[in-house]
Amino acid sequence: MSRYLFLTLILVVFSALAASSVTQQLEDQMKQEEYTEVLVTFEGDIDDSTVEGIDDRYSIEHEFGLIEGAKMNLTSSEIENLSSRQPVERIEPDYPVETLVSDTGESFRMPDLHNNGYMGSNSSVAVLDTGIYDHDYLDIYKAENFTEEGTGDLNGHGTHVAGIIGSQHPTYTGISPKIDLYDAKVLNETGRGSSSQIIQGLEWVVEEEVDIASISIGAEVERCNGRDMLSRATNKATNSGTLTVTAAGNSGPDNSTITAPGCASNTLTVGSVDKEDKMAPYSSRGPTYDNRVKPDVVAPGSDIVSTWPENRWRYSSGTSMAAPHVSGQAAVILSETDKEPGEVKKKIMGTSHDLDYPENYQGSGKIDVYESLEGNFTSMGQTSTEQKGFLAVLRNIWYRLVDFILWM
């Protein structure tokens, strides 16, 4: 009899989970605010008449092109009414997003790479960040603004990230100094923005057919499992042909601290190590809420010197500094080979070096840019979800069951 009761409870749990399209984080926010900026995801392909019908009643602020969804400003009652309408699949907050810099203080250089002519020519990288300052050693190919400030960088974070990728300084040379550098300004002078701004930036990057999107920013999403709209849009961008490289977050050393969109399945998520190849304590760890291994790799992120506004230079630390190393690595791979985003991701993971940390700390290990071009591909990079899929599913069911009981 107890077996039937357990099975019935499982069915009730999953029925309740399926019936609710409003995330718990939004439920909590609705109790405190009269109006809430939300992101609404629609199920399946929807036609114009469906969107117009929703717009007429609830007023859509922005309809996304990269993903079936929209940004809206709704009252609590409107959210409740909309949540029961088809084809609404999920309603979540327009999560606040910020830079992932930890502290400030020599960078990881690869003379062998550049001496052999690997400079990233004929490839392109977009930096989705606070903008890029028109630095003497940065060559900005194209810029677009998604904030209220206009182009340029009033914060410095985006300029620092861009320099790690593409600085043309003879000493402080970026990983891929001959790339076409795109500036997608999605955060303001305080280093903050919203998920909807990042998604709009991603849409522009995909429209411009940029090879790589470097995303050194993150949002704190409860139960980060890749279902939030920002993570979905990041996956869509990768599926559209733009490899997304994302910082893991700076919420370590605790487990399950990956930020969005780092928990997206298709993105290449990057954690941070110091100069001695020790895990940086701030670097976020996995697993994701649905028990996938993240980060995918780690890269140097502590005490990295790079470009700064007013033609200056600065040391900074964080997974924000680790991710652009991998973006630059992907650029030089693409400049020498004709590979799809998924193949580049596997190449980077397969040539990384195991640092003897758990997978959910280091992923496949520390990147080796030169090895990824000249060395042999290994079988590393297979996630434990792929290797132990059935066990991962059972754990996921258990986590959701416990979470539901606690929520009740």
Residues that are catalytic: 129, 157, 320
Q: Which residue has the tokens 């606040």?
A: 96
| Strand bridging mode 212-215 / 268-273 | unpaired
Residue 400's beta-bridge partner residues? none
Please say whether the beta carbons of 336 and 373 come within 8 A: yes
DSSP summary character for residue 191: S
Respond yes or no on whether the N-terminal peptide bond of residue 87 is cis (omega within 30° of 0): yes
Residue 273's beta-bridge partner residues? 279, 300
Please say whether the beta carbons of 45 and 205 come within 8 A: no
Q: Which residue has the tokens 């701004």?
A: 197
DSSP summary character for residue 124: E
DSSP summary character for residue 35: E
Q: Which residue has the tokens 């140097």?
A: 300
What are the Cα distances from residue 191, in Å, to 88, 185, 215?
A: 31, 10, 13
Cα–Cα distance for residue pair 123/287, rounded to 1 Å: 32
Question: At a CB cut-off of 8 Å and minimum separation 6, what does 191 contact?
Answer: 98, 99, 101, 130, 155, 157
Please say whether the beta carbons of 71 and 61 come within 8 A: yes
Please say whether the beta carbons of 156 and 100 come within 8 A: no
What tokens does 344 get?
A: 């580049």
Respond yes or no on whether the N-terminal peptide bond of residue 111 is cis (omega within 30° of 0): no
> H-type helices in 100-173, by residue range?
111-115, 157-166
Q: What strands lie across the sheet with 243-247, from one edge to the other? A: 140-145, 180-185, 124-129, 212-215, 243-247, 268-273, 297-300
